Structure 1
Amino acid sequence: MKIPSFNRRHSLSSITAPLLSPTGAIDEDDDGTVPIVRAQTTADGYYDSKLRRGFNDLTRFRSAASAATYNTLNSFFFEHIDEDAYLPDVGLRPWLAALGGFCAQFCSFGYMNVIGLFQTYYETHQLVDLSPSTISWIGSIQTFILAFGGLFCGRICDMYGPRWLTVPGCLLLTLGVCMTALCTEYYQFVLAQGVCSAIGASALFYATTSAITGWFSKRRGLAFGVAASGASFGGITLPFLFDAVSSRASFGMAVYCVAILLFIFSFTAVIVTTSRLAPSGRQPYRFVHFYLRPYFDPVFALVTLSLTIVYLGLFVPFAFVASHALANGLSLASAFHLIAYLNAGSLAGRLFSGMLSDKAGNFNIYILVCFMSGIVAFPFWYLSTTEVGIIVVAAAYGFASGGVLAMYPALIAHISPVREIGTRVGAVSAAIAFGALASLPIAGAIVGGEEDPVGNYNGMQIYAGVAMMAGSVIAVIAKGKATGGKLLARE
């Protein structure tokens, strides 16, 4: 008797056919089917269905077991949320991610938004013998690392999840700020404030930004506006805290209080930030594929160029509004309060631009706020010499520049595939970091010496305004490319 081969289809008929087939002729039924073959077919279907059901149950069990193990591990190390189980814009988890973004931007851009406070304090205290241009390198390096870190942080977040960045970001930021309180020499301020704290701030910012993009779709602009408002809230809170403590105790104690507040917010970001998209895992580091390929898209390249030019002037008022006020006769306390007024306007600008972009289009709002920022810097800041005028200009510039900072990640997400948003935001940030690096030293060099301080600040104001208006013009060209020349389209 021939033994059936198991290389054939694994069904009951392949095994039982030789055993059940009779040697003699058998009469057929009326329907032309041999009775024993019909019985065999019935049995075959029955047992095949049982085998398939058992196999599927086993597969589901193994998948469930793997998922349970994966979720258990990722409760400590990663963020694993079924992509299909949660819809974008719906539920508590998306808004927890937005809260994480709010806390992270409080610690990153919120801390950086008060560079004018430290610039002015260093000019009048620890580093009084150095020029404004030399001192400005501290904030410039801080801005550069915060932006350039996206080249690495975005990719790490895509591969391993946000928590691989938020935890070390929290620790490095707190360490850098605490070390700033102990600094006495110029190089020490550069290493502590310009490098260490900036690396931590960069990790926090890009981790939470990448997480938000996966949780939101239709209300992504609003979510980015809520997250970006954390930077303004930090810019409002930190100057008053620093001024209150430093005037009653010392510089070191004031910086320690700032460090405690930043740790509270950054630790909150660590807890609440999760990603809807499961981490892709380790992948080869292909620089050309991940970071250069997007620039073959002319829209992406033009948006990056626009942001780089805008960043040449964007943070100049943040750094020099207080020292400009001192040159016009305001007190040191009033100059510190200007930074808070600027960030109060930025809070409104971030929220308003985020909400409006969901209706009017990301390109349209970005172009508008870039042009408004340039107009406020020059001629309005240029013409402001009284205390009331400087306060109004600070609030107005905060409103316009807050819109720029809120719109730039939303605009990159708008023109990028969802699974590449973290990497592409990093690629853009690495490019605009060079604009940020050059901006403050150029502005400080324009301010120069003390022969005619007000006149020198006028030259700096023209530089900042022209840079931002030029960036808005390039953004118009990018929109034309994206819409096929339809400049009035809601895009």
Structure 2
Amino acid sequence: MSNKDTICSNEQTKNIVVVDDDFEDGGYGWFVVMGAFMVQVTSFGVMQEYYQENYFGTSQQLNLSFVGTIALIFTNICGPLAQILTSMWGYRIVMIIGTLCVSLGLILAGFSSQIWHLYLTQGILFGIGASLMYCTIMGVAPLWFNRRRGIALGITASGSGIGGLVIPFIMTPINESLGPGWTYRILGFICLACDLVAVILVRPRVPVPRQRKRLGDIIQLNVLKDGNFLLFCIGSMVALLGYFIPYFFLPSYATLIGLSKLQGSALVAVSSACNFIGRILAGLCADRIGKVNTNIIFTVLGGLSSFLIWTFATNYGTLMAYSVVFGLFCGSYFALLSPITAQLLGFERFPTGLSTMLISNVVSVFGPNIASAIENGVSAPPYFTYKMFSGAAYITGALILCILKLRLSRNIFAKL
């Protein structure tokens, strides 16, 4: 490629957007990636299982599960708020606010005695803070890179995999010795330390003028008139319906087939570790074979892993193999969300596109709830519905992404 990154450059593409990329690729941007990585490390959900077993009981399992759901919803829908505040006060102040919300959300959750306390703290307050941090870093980090944008954002997105791997091992000994209250508070201070690194390191490549934006300036639904972006949005939303299901149900499925709780936890930990590796791998592949191509390949393999491995997994070894394969390929969307959105819309409409994608992700949060409703409504072996639903969601999403690729270029080997 030349120094011009031509977006959607082919005869069939209606909109051709050319972005001036005449700047040093990376440079200080790698420090921005470091800060953004630390933000992603702190994007985790904690403690619901412990509260269920020791405080509220299994009768409150459904109500307690909505703590994480509320956090994910607010993380996704508050993107426009992050952009409005950034236009008024700048990136650093918004990140400071986000850091305080994330930290206070967890610290105050340590004083919870009712489920609705967790809704307000770990759900709403933590979710708002996570959204302010995530939308800020994802609006800044891509602009520091050109040829290595894929690997840079892959490293950034891999932080959540590290968080999912490391945080449980920090939580368990603290929880056993100090109890859930102090576990929450200590996690709050860990988030404070990680996010402060981002506050210090993350800054835009070029100064951004302060000009207050209105909600109408940010939520511009006309981006959905772009057929290519609409396909990416729908395909990603459908595929993500299957993303959370293994992480929700693998431990209980392991218990069903006679494995221990420790083995069930190990499955999730290994999958999180492979998720970390897979997102970096997705970034590397994106820089070499194209972002859309990589996303399609990874999405197909993620779906096939549920169909061909989890379906027949009746022992620990096979389940561990599934955890490895699914973890490697399930998270490409998170690594490639920003670069594909920028590729399809150009950087001028990128903020609007990013907010639209995040809002659409709210639908995907309910994937486990939809799968559970189907599981309870059909006559099938236990967990069979979850396996089929996860695999079908990924494969259906991949087929929609294939239509996107064909719209961009009829040449199936084109680097897109």
Q: Assess same fold via TM > 0.5.
A: yes
In structure 2, what residue type is equivalent to 1:294?
Answer: V
Q: CA deviation at 1:239?
A: 0.9
Contact 2:88–2:213 (Cα < 8 Å) also in 1:
no
Is 2:214 the partner of 1:263?
A: no
Residues 100-149 of structure 1, C-alpha deviations (whole Å, 9 max, x = no match): 110111112xx14xx6xx44334433332336544332222222221222
Indicate if the aligned counterparts of 1:225 and 1:353 stay in contact, CA closer than 8 A. yes
Any runs of at least 4 consecutive aligned residues in structure 1 with deviations exceeding 4 A, and if so which?
Answer: 446-449
Q: Deviations over 1:358-389 (max 9, x none)?
A: 01000001111111111222342222232222
CA deviation after TM superposition for structure 1 residue 292, in Å: 0.9
Of 32, 38, 42, 1:107 maps to 42
Deviation track 1:71-122 (CA, whole Å, cap 9, x = no partner) reads xxxxxxxxxxxxx99924142x2111111110111112xx14xx6xx44334
Tell me which moved more, 153-162 or 407-416: 153-162
Deviation at residue 218 of structure 1 after TM alignment: 1.2
* Partner Cα separation in structure 2 for residue 278 and residue 157 of structure 1: 12
CA contact (8 A) 1:236 1:344 kept: yes
Which one has the largest radius of gyration? 1
Structure 1 alignment gaps of length 5 or more: 1-83
Alignment pair present for 1:407 and 2:336: yes
1:282 alignment partner AA: Q
Q: Is the 8 A contact 2:63 2:115 kept in 1?
A: no
1:439 to 2:364 alignment: no
Aligned 8 A contact 2:274 2:327 in 1: yes
Q: State the Cα distance separating 1:488 from its structure 2 match.
A: 2.7
Distance 1:419 1:277 in 2: 14
Q: 1: CA distance between counterparts of 2:264 and 2:53? A: 13
AA aligned to 1:475 is L
Which residue identity does 2:23 align to in structure 1? L
Deviation for aligned residue 1:175? 0.8
Q: Deviations over 1:387-409 (max 9, x none)?
A: 22222212221111232321222
Corresponding residue of 1:488 = 413
Q: Give the 3-state SS of the residue equivalent to 1:419 in structure 2.
A: coil
Matched, 1:249 2:178: yes
Give distance in 2, aligned partners of 1:85 and 1:477: 29
| SS of alignment partner, residue 330 of structure 1 | coil
Corresponding position: 1:96 with 2:25:
no
What residue identity is the alignment partner of 1:457? Y
Contact in 2 for aligned 1:349/1:398 (Cα 8 Å): yes
Matched length: 397
| 1:332 counterpart = 2:261 | yes
**Could you tell me whether the CA contact under 8 Å between 1:155 and 1:422 is conserved in 2?**
no
Amino acid corresponding to residue 470 of structure 1 in structure 2? T
Given the superposition, is the C-alpha separation of residues 288 and 298 from structure 1 closer, same or farther in structure 2, using an over 3 Å criterion?
farther
Whole-Å Cα distance in 2 between the matches of residues 227 and 262 of structure 1?
Answer: 16
Unaligned 5+ segments in structure 2 are 1-19
Deviation at 1:249, TM superposition (A): 3.2
Decide whether aligned partners of structure 1 residues 162 and 329 sit closer, same or farther in structure 2, where only a CA change above 3 A counts. Answer: farther
Are 1:151 and 1:429, in contact at CA under 8 Å, matched by a contact in 2? no
After alignment, is 123-132 or 418-427 more displaced? 123-132
* 1:459 is the counterpart of 2:385: yes
- Within the candidate set 113, 124, 134, 1:205 is matched to 134
CA distance in 2, matches of 1:321, 1:186: 25
Q: For residues 166 and 430 of structure 1, do their structure 2 counterparts lie closer, same or farther at Cα, with a shift above 3 Å needed?
A: same
- In structure 2, relative to structure 1, the CA distance for the partners of 1:448 and 1:290 (3 Å cut) is closer
Tell me the residue number matched to 2:4: none
Kept in 1: contact 2:108–2:185 (CA 8 A): no
Distance in 1 between residues matched to 2:24 and 2:347, nearest whole Å: 12
Deviations 1:132-184 (A, max 9, x none): 54433222222222122223324544665422321111100011111222223
* Alignment check: 8 A CA contact 2:80 2:218 kept: no
Write the deviation string for residues 267-299 of structure 1: whole angstroms up to 9, x where unpaired. 111110000132242245262775212111100
Kindly indicate whether the alpha-carbon contact (under 8 Å) linking 1:160 and 1:280 is maintained by their aligned counterparts in 2.
Answer: no
| Contact 1:154/1:425, CA 8 A, preserved across alignment | no
Q: Give the Cα separation in 1 of the matches to 2:110 and 2:311.
A: 35
1:139 equivalent in structure 2: 68
8 Å contact kept, 1:159–1:279? no
Q: 1:428 to 1:228 in 2, by over 3 A?
A: same
Alignment of 1:197-346 (within 5 A): 197-285=126-214, 287=216, 290-346=219-275
TM-fit CA distance, 1:232 = 1.1
The 1-side partners of 2:368 and 2:155 are apart by 28
Q: 1:391 aligns with which of 317, 320, 331?
A: 320
Whole-angstrom CA distance in 1 between matches of 2:159 and 2:200 = 16
| Secondary structure at the counterpart of residue 418 of structure 1 | coil
RMSD of the alignment, in Å? 2.6
Amino acid at match of 1:380: I
Closer, same or farther in 2 for the Cα pair 1:320/1:340, shift >3 Å?
same
Q: Verify the 8 A CA contact 2:79 2:355 in the aligned structure 1.
A: yes
Aligned equivalent of 1:128, options 34, 52, 57: 57
Same amino acid, percent of matched pairs: 24
Deviates more, 1:328-337 or 1:155-164: 155-164
| Mapped partners of 1:249, 1:329: distance in 2 | 30
1:237, CA displacement in angstroms? 0.7
SS of alignment partner, residue 349 of structure 2: helix
SS at match of 1:455: coil
Distance 1:85 1:330, change over 3 A: closer
1:319 is displaced (CA, Å) by: 2.1
